[in-house]
Amino acid sequence: MAKQKGFFSLITGVVLGAAAAYLSNDKNRAKTKAVIAKTAAKVKKAEAEYKKNPTAFKKKVVAESKKVAKRTVSKAKKSLATKTKKKTSKKA
């Protein structure tokens, strides 16, 4: 258990160090603030939509999730087919 805790601490330290290095630049801080503001606006909009009609919101989210999953699977299949094609052509 101690090894896992130490490893987690190490990973956390690395991530926080990278974030600190990234955010030490003024331009990066401005970009991060802009992204956070956009995300907060989207969350507020989604929350309002959910409060208005939770059932419709859930159906919408499920439908969008299915579309994204289908697109992702399609891309993964294409990528796998391309990799397989390259491997077989190298062997020949």
Per-residue pLDDT tens digits for 4-59: 567 888 888 899 999 999 889 999 999 999 999 999 999 999 999 999 999 999 99
Tell me the one-letter amino acid at 81: A
Report the distance separating Cα 61 and Cα 69, nearest Å.
Answer: 12
Residue 2 has pLDDT above 50, yes or no: no
> What angle is formed at CA 83 by the lines to CA 80 and CA 85, rounded to 5 degrees?
110
pTM given for the model: 0.54
Average pLDDT for residues 64-85, to the nearest whole number? Answer: 89
Which of 34, 35, 16 has the alpha carbon at shortest distance from 24? 16
Q: What are the residue ranges of helices labelled H in the chain?
A: 2-23, 26-52, 54-91
Write down the domain spans for the chain. Answer: 26-91
Kindly state the tokens that stand for 74. 């399609």
Average pLDDT for residues 66-87, to the nearest whole number? Answer: 86
